[in-house]
Chain A
Amino acid sequence: MSGLKAMSAQRDIAIVAFHQSDCQASAGATNEVELIMPEIRAVMDQVGLHNAQDVDFVCSGSCDYLQGAAFAFVAGVDALGAVPPIRESHVEMDAAWALYESVLKIRMGHADSALIYGFAKSSPGELPIVLSQQLDPYYLAPLWVDTVSLAAMQARLMLDAGKITEADMAAVVSRSRRNAMNNPHAQLAGDLSVEALLQEAPFVSPLRRHDCSPVSDGASAMIIATVEQAEAWGKPYAILRGIDHRIESHNLCTRDLTDSPSTRRAAEAAGVADGAIDVAELYAPFSHQEIILSRALGLGEGTRVNPSGGVLAGNLMMASGLSRVGEVFQRIVSGEARRGVAHATSGPCLQHNLVAVVEAA
């Protein structure tokens, strides 16, 4: 096992602060820097820090294509107060992977603390079409197969295999919308019954519109540190006990799309099964994917899944994965849960999956 949790001699990582913006269908005139600044401010205030000068490392996650301009992430540096210069890096991935990079940096002893943030303004483009250009550029991208259609094929496979029913999918949505009523940052919330949801017309069959996460603009930010640093700051924290991620084949035809072996592998490496899971926040952009993920993670009756409403209630591209970790952190610090699992995904039909285990300190 080469996951991070296996290295018992390594430094424990504390999650100390997290904040997420509202999920908005459109942030209007607000640009990326203006989306990021309030989130950085919020996590700095939680810890009592001034700006990025007060942490040892900064790492962000974003995607140029969402905005439609090369080097879109460079503007993010303007939100940090990076004068004098700072130790900083960026992944063109969800910020959950920026968290992963930051954890490595702390574990190798080059940093005792890190600021992580993710952001996107997806509303200016047509997100499912933009993401179609994530596919193999010679065979698939020229077909412009959008992400919703690919997910619909995955849902069809599950329905035909008898692994789920449409009512199961509607139940996921119903719970998400209801949970989101307690989430001030959610974009979609409400008390909708399974029966009512099943009355809705198909969107991209067999998916109904509510089976698909909305497109949201926004950002989220997190501060992590060694336990010693967190103690010195004197703020409540949770322990990031394990984190691991795995990718699988890009060739959809060779994958069993009704399962997520990469999630299962990441869960093993992160140590999900080492204890009871009170809460799980899963990055499932489509309702049926939450079921695939719950099964791959081995979650049972005792686990509350997506108490925030998950991304079906609001999906901040490039930040939703980090936000899942943040949501679990908040529930542990508040005493609502003692041990939780957070998940992030990337690529078509859950191609790439990250799993983190967060525990009470």
Chain B
Amino acid sequence: MAQLAAVIGTGQTRYKTKRGDVSIAGLLREAAVNALEDAGLGFEDIDAVVIGKAPDMFEGVVMPECYLADALGANGKPMLRVHTAGSVGGSTALVAASHVQSGTFKRVLTVTYEKQSESNAMWALSTPQPFAVHLNAGAGGYFAPIIREYMRRSKAPWDVGIKVAVKDRLHGARNPLAHLHKPDITMKEVEESMMLWDPLRLLEACPSSDGACAMVIAAEDAVDSSAKPPAWIRGGAMRSEPTMYAGREEVNPRAGRDCAADVYAQAGIRDPRRDLDVAEIYVPFSWYEPMWLENLGFAEEGQGWRLTMEGATSLDEGGDIPWNPSGGVLSSNPIGASGMIRFAEAARQVRGDAGAHQVEGAKLAMGHAYGGGAQFFSMWIVGADKP
């Protein structure tokens, strides 16, 4: 049924608060050219282009695939635009993969991006609608009460989030593309950073970045153009549930649990902590590491924070299951691309291509993204070994 497909090229931009040196199209092209070079291909080798980003209002360009067709060499080709809120980077990768896994195309270029500096993205989420109370103080204001409930249930120590914030920034310091470079960050520095949405402090929240991420996904008989080994797609899954409904489990959403179970089954994973070598998981606010450790089955419910505190997810502490060696969303956050960066970084790990943040000998890796009110999930597993 599904044809085999693999990532044969990844490309990213340098992530920064403001990339004033490139246009929106230039930003995407930078990532696309990097991915094509990595794949040993040119634009002429590409059969179809799939792009994704978060809401159009972040840059003020309506249905931007029209404007971006030229820069991505898409003229005369199919071009698709995916939008599934914050999970879009992951779902775009999965939609791109389906172009190959369906047996329709040989080589697909996929690019996701956000150029948050071109507008005020945080407030683009809060367009004043009549009738409603205007209390939308950004995504942090939405997620902080859910984190508070997690802390109540799990009885986790107050500084778990601080530990995650430090760990991911130390990881990010190894990644030359990361937006934040803080090799000397300390628990004290995070603790003393400004409280934004209690219990979340400034340094426990993701930055706002410009950036783009691209991948080339190829069919089984088209993986040899790259000098590096392919990252075989071993499973891919998406799940959605409504933003709010009576009795919804917001701390440990069922959509995330179901999505993980689906992707693990496809990849033959029984115990993710043991079977996976590394995971790139969408953690935009520090406390989502312990919450997702539980949601994704790396730890029992209520126990995720113990893995974090023991250093199990830290590259620097020699943890057995490093999470976000690239620095994660806490180190770079071009929203629409953030999910795809997770997927691409997972591919880099199993290709042995992750440089200073390489997990030694990584063979099987997970990429994860979520969006909306933690209701849209997309995940994939990539491996060094052909299935």
Contact = CB atoms under 8 A, between A and B. Distances in A.
A246 B76 contact: yes
A93 B57 contact: no
Q: Pick the most buried of A4, A109, A136: most chain B CB atoms within 10 A of its CB.
A: A136
Contact of A65 (B2, B48, B57, B105): B57
B104 A64 contact: no
A58 B118 CA distance: 33
A162 to B, nearest CB: 27
Given A64-B56, A84-B254, A84-B258, A134 B67 contact: yes
B75 A85 contact: no
B372 A248 contact: no
Contacts of B243: 74, 77-78
B2 A108 contact: yes
Given A84-B254, A104-B104, A107-B104, A91 B83 contact: yes
Contacts of A131: 62
Contact of A108 (B3, B63, B125, B242): B3
B3 A101 contact: no
A145 interface: no
A131 B68 CA distance: 16
Q: Pick the most buried of A58, A78, A100, A110: most chain B CB atoms within 10 A of its CB.
A: A110
A248 B63 contact: no
Contacts of B61: 133-134, 137, 141
Interface in B41-67: 47-48, 55-67
A199 interface: no
Interface stretch (B91-99, B180-188, B345-353, B360-368): B91-99
B208 to A, nearest CB: 15
Contacts of B106: 2
Nearest to B103: A7
B238 A348 contact: no
Contact of B125 (A70, A77, A250): A70
B379 to A, nearest CB: 12
Contacts of B79: 245, 247, 352
Interface in A56-77: 58, 63-65, 68-71, 73-74, 77
B70 A107 contact: no
Given A77-B241, A108-B2, A346 B63 contact: yes
Contacts of A261: 76
A71 B124 CA distance: 10
A83 B23 contact: no
A67 to B, nearest CB: 10
A247 B62 contact: no
A137 B24 contact: yes
B195 to A, nearest CB: 26
A166 B3 CA distance: 51
B175 interface: no
A28 to B, nearest CB: 16
B80 A93 contact: yes
Nearest to A6: B104
A320 interface: no
Size category of the binding interface on chain A = 35 or more
Nearest to A245: B78
A134 B241 contact: no
B102 interface: yes
Nearest to A251: B70
Contact of B75 (A69, A82, A248): A248
A250 B258 contact: no
A271 to B, nearest CB: 14
Contact of A109 (B1, B24, B57, B248): B1
B1 A108 contact: yes
Contact of A64 (B24, B57, B238): B57
A168 to B, nearest CB: 28
A83 B237 CA distance: 17
B98 A82 contact: no
A69 B78 CA distance: 28
B245 interface: yes
A91 B80 contact: yes
A87 B47 contact: no
B14 interface: no
Contacts of A108: 1-3, 98, 101-103
Interface in B81-117: 81-85, 91, 95, 98-99, 101-106
Contact of B241 (A85, A109, A110): A85
Contacts of A346: 63, 66
Given A85-B241, A246-B76, A107 B102 contact: yes
A308 interface: no
Interface in A313-352: 346-348, 351-352
Contact of A250 (B3, B23, B67, B80): B67
B239 interface: yes
A204 B375 CA distance: 45
Given A91-B80, A100-B80, A249 B57 contact: no
A90 B70 contact: no
Contacts of B68: 250
B2 A347 contact: no
A135 B61 CA distance: 7
Nearest to B71: A250
A201 to B, nearest CB: 30
Nearest to A131: B62
Interface of B: 1-3, 23-24, 47-48, 55-70, 74-85, 91, 95, 98-99, 101-106, 118, 124-125, 127, 129, 237-243, 245, 248, 254-255, 258-259, 372, 375-376
Given A133-B60, A134-B67, A137-B118, 15 more contacts: A2-B48, A4-B102, A7-B102, A63-B56, A84-B241, A86-B240, A92-B56, A92-B82, A105-B102, A137-B61, A246-B77, A247-B79, A248-B69, A250-B68, A346-B66
26 contacts: A63-B56, A65-B57, A70-B55, A73-B83, A77-B242, A82-B240, A83-B242, A84-B241, A85-B258, A88-B376, A90-B82, A90-B84, A91-B80, A92-B56, A92-B63, A92-B81, A101-B82, A101-B98, A104-B98, A108-B101, A134-B64, A136-B67, A246-B78, A247-B78, A346-B63, A347-B63
Interface of A: 2-4, 7, 9-10, 58, 63-65, 68-71, 73-74, 77-78, 80, 82-93, 97, 100-101, 103-105, 107-110, 130-131, 133-138, 141, 244-251, 261-262, 265, 346-348, 351-352
